[in-house]
Amino acid sequence: MATWSHLGFQDSASPLMEQLIFFHDHAMVILIVITSLVAYLMTTLLFNVLTNRFLLENQTIEMIWTILPAVILVIIALPSLRLLYLLDEVNSPSLTIKTVGHQWYWSYEYSDFVQVEFDSYMTATDYSKEFEYRLLDVDNRMVVPMDTQIRVLVTAADVIHSWTVPALGVKADAIPGRLNQVSFVVSRPGLFFGQCSEICGANHSFMPIVIESVSTNSFLSWVMASSED
């Protein structure tokens, strides 16, 4: 998870987030090269009192600075389009979970199992406990098996919310009366924190999301225990 001194992305926990970080680095390299080149040219122009008479009205230079930006845009656009299709693709999911945004908590329904549904509220901060994440932990976590294709159907019961987990690279608007879907594969075990990313009222800041990634056997044990409850 991100801390107060964290200026970059969170460590990726899914292949989608890895691809998003790769694309960010790809675009940043191009931007840095362009910025450095333009800064160098502007600096040399400021301190140069001479004028090259062959530089004015030069058709070759006109063609270069018209074609070169177009090529750069294509180099950026192709991986961007590929990434957009990857983010929207929902292959055959092994598990489907429905999440509903409320003012101001989340509820989860495991559609593939009978009677596995619960509400997830933010836990009150207890300063006597060590290693507790203030305003981020919940009483009931969304438990998922790792290395499994998971589909999440997102909607809302009252106003527009947004279900977002940065480490997984997923963000979907929860709109009343509509179903949005996201798909992801968690590549490692652990806890992954997110929050509502759409201003939804007075307690918008107090409806966090916690995903707990466990092994398949641990997940099945949790399902059995939840069904009995």
Which residue intervals of the chain are DSSP H helices?
A: 15-46, 59-88, 216-228
Q: Cis link prior to 222 (omega < 30° from 0)?
A: no
Q: What is the Cβ-side half-sphere exposure of residue 190, based on CA atoms within 13 angstroms?
A: 12
In a domain, 6, yes or no: no
- In the chain, DSSP finds a helix count (H) and a strand count (E) of 3, 10
Strand partners, 106: 101, 120
- Do 144 and 169 fall into the same domain? yes
- Do 108 and 176 fall into the same domain? yes
In a domain, 208, yes or no: yes
Amino acid letter at 77? A
- Do 79 and 101 fall into the same domain? no
Structural domain span for residue 179: 95-227
**CATH label of the domain that carries residue 137:** 2.60.40.420
DSSP 205: G
How high is the pLDDT of residue 127? 61
- Do 106 and 137 fall into the same domain? yes
In a domain, 115, yes or no: yes
In a domain, 10, yes or no: no
Strand partners, 192: 211
**CATH label of the domain that carries residue 77:** 1.10.287.90
**Whether the Cβ atoms of residue 158 and residue 117 lie closer than 8 Å to each other:** no
Domain count, the chain: 2
Angle 80-192-3 (CA atoms, 0-180°, nearest 5)?
90
In a domain, 2, yes or no: no
- Last residue within a domain, chosen from 34, 62, 88: 88
Tokens standing for residue 201: 């009222």
Amino acid letter at 99? T
Rounded CA separation 73/38 (Å):
17
- Do 174 and 122 fall into the same domain? yes
- Do 136 and 204 fall into the same domain? yes
In a domain, 5, yes or no: no
- Do 41 and 26 fall into the same domain? yes
For residue 102, give every residue at least 6 positions away whose Cβ sits within 8 Å of its Cβ, in sequence order, or none. Answer: 119, 156, 157, 158
Q: What is the Cβ-side half-sphere exposure of residue 228, based on CA atoms within 13 angstroms?
A: 5
- Do 104 and 165 fall into the same domain? yes
- Do 144 and 34 fall into the same domain? no
Report the chain (229 residues): mean pLDDT per 10 consecutive residues: 74 86 91 93 84 74 87 90 82 88 92 82 74 82 90 92 91 91 90 90 90 90 79
- Last residue within a domain, chosen from 88, 123, 148: 88
- Do 151 and 78 fall into the same domain? no
- Last residue within a domain, chosen from 88, 113, 130: 88
**Count of CB atoms within 10 A of residue 2's CB?**
13
Rounded CA separation 61/41 (Å):
14
pTM for the full predicted model: 0.79
Rounded CA separation 168/141 (Å):
16
Strand partners, 120: 106
- Do 132 and 223 fall into the same domain? yes
Token pair 């090259």: residue? 52
Q: What is residue 228's three-state secondary structure?
A: helix
In a domain, 1, yes or no: no
In a domain, 7, yes or no: no
- Do 55 and 106 fall into the same domain? no
